[in-house]
Amino acid sequence: MSRLTKLILLYLAAIEPVASQQYPEAEWPRRKPSEAGIDEQALAKLQPRIGIGGVIIRHGYLVASWGNPEIAVQTASMGKSFTSTVLGLAIDAGKVKLDDPVHLTWTGQGELSDPHKYLDFGFHREITWRHLANMMAGFQDIDLFSSNAGEMGDVHWNYAKWQPGKVFEYADGAMWRFSQALTKLWNKDIKQVLDERIFVDLGVPSDRWDWVPGQVVQSTTLYPTWPGYGRYLDPPWEIGGKPVRAGPGWVVISAQDAARFGYLFLRKGRWKGKQLLSEAWISQLMKGQARAHSVEGGSAYSLNWWLPREGVVFEARGLNIDWKAVSRISVVPHLDLVVAAIRTNYTARSQKEAEEIGAGDRDWLFRLIAAIEK
């Protein structure tokens, strides 16, 4: 095949979704990788072998999978993007604006354990919904108040320590406060909000996915290697009689259904002709609003989505607690691509190797992108 012919085929593959806008029914329709413009030999080298399940979706077709994509398990921090989606729906419905102070909706008075936690006290008065969704609310990372024994800090510690909007801090304590405030805002279980406004249209019944309540995380040993994890999830665990879901994550979902959620974002909030989530919301999350710094250079962050290459990819991610696997929903608009994977090690070729090398994520997604672009 000549280079020109290959480029023409890739171009036709790229413009196809504009015309067809393929959506899944009960199952994802399938195509061979080569029919979706993916180098099959390169993909074979990249396809993970260790993981609960994963799928690669291009142009609305399932072109590769591993493990069992129908198994639903807890996905750690990947669920943060579900929390911010509940906010996006509230903004679309005119309930709040992104830069509204959160205390106008909920102060926590009489419900939070201590007055210094009230959202109309101290730094909390300045916290907006945007601050919570961008990890800029002034809360401390839970790692910073763990004792040497690994026990979580006392629940009295879960409050803003510095002025909002100044510092990016990956703070699950703030995400918990976020989910409490959202429950008050909707006066409804926020899983029910997503069921009624998103998942029913995606073809995912309410009993096929779950969202662990905060009280369960607080009272259950989810991570044996991290004693006391979850103690920062302070009461109230119900607001107005509605359970508060664990805003920091812990969505229980399969790869095939996580892919539907990601595909909704790829299609700019539209599903089979119905606008479920505004295009304006998705356009905002594709632009970095905060930045997590690291020795590798860090990553842009926006509305609880990571932007490892701003303008190229955005993704929701969750690492299991002992760093051996990653759950992800990765969206690559310019390639019409979604990757959804549950607890997958992307480089290990055996369970033993996975235990030795850790999460194995590294640059896997960008090697997959390169295999499609070449």
CATH of the domain at 199: 3.40.710.10
pLDDT of residue 139: 93
Q: What backbone phi and psi angles, to 5 degrees, belong to 127?
A: -70, 125
Of 222, 243, 264, which residue constitutes the final position of a domain?
A: 243
pLDDT of residue 358: 61
Find the domain containing 279 and state its range.
3-71+254-373
Of 211, 243, 275, which residue constitutes the final position of a domain?
A: 243
Do 42 and 83 share a domain, yes or no? no
What gap in Å lies between CA 75 and CA 53, rounded to an integer? 12
Per-residue DSSP letters for 10-28? HHHHHHHHHHH----SSS-
Residue 321 maps to a domain: yes
Do 172 and 300 share a domain, yes or no? no
pLDDT of residue 148: 47
Do 44 and 188 share a domain, yes or no? no
Nearest Cα residue to 325 out of 48, 136, 60? 48
Q: Model confidence over 213-225: pLDDT tens digits?
A: 999 998 887 777 7
Q: Model confidence over 291-313: pLDDT tens digits?
A: 987 645 578 999 999 999 999 99
Residue 157 maps to a domain: yes
Q: At what angle do helices 80-92 and 172-186 cross, to 10 degrees?
A: 30
Q: In the chain, which residues have pLDDT < 70?
A: 1-20, 143-155, 294-297, 321-323, 355-360, 362
Residue 248 maps to a domain: no
Residue 243: strand pairing partners: 238
Residue 249 maps to a domain: no
pLDDT of residue 293: 73
pLDDT of residue 152: 53
**Could you check whether the bond before residue 243 is cis, i.e. omega within 30 degrees of 0?**
no
Do 102 and 214 share a domain, yes or no? yes
CATH of the domain at 316: 3.40.710
What gap in Å lies between CA 281 and CA 269, rounded to an integer? 9
Do 326 and 296 share a domain, yes or no? yes
Of 243, 276, 296, which residue constitutes the final position of a domain?
A: 243
Longest dimension (CA), the chain: 71
* Alpha-helical segments (H) within the chain: 3-20, 40-46, 80-92, 129-133, 172-186, 190-194, 200-202, 214-219, 255-266, 279-285, 351-357, 364-373
pLDDT of residue 149: 46
pLDDT of residue 5: 46
Per-residue DSSP letters for 156-191? GG-SB-S-TTS-----HHHHHHHHHHHHHHHTS-HH
Sign of dihedral through CA atoms 209, 210, 211, 212? negative
Domain count, the chain: 2
Per-residue DSSP letters for 25-63? SSS--B--GGGGT--HHHHHHH--SEEEEEEEEETTEEE
Nearest Cα residue to 265 out of 311, 194, 332? 332
Q: Are 130 and 99 in contact (CB under 8 A)?
A: yes
Q: What is the pTM of this model?
A: 0.91
What gap in Å lies between CA 266 and CA 273, rounded to an integer? 14
What gap in Å lies between CA 320 and CA 324, rounded to an integer? 7
Do 173 and 236 share a domain, yes or no? yes
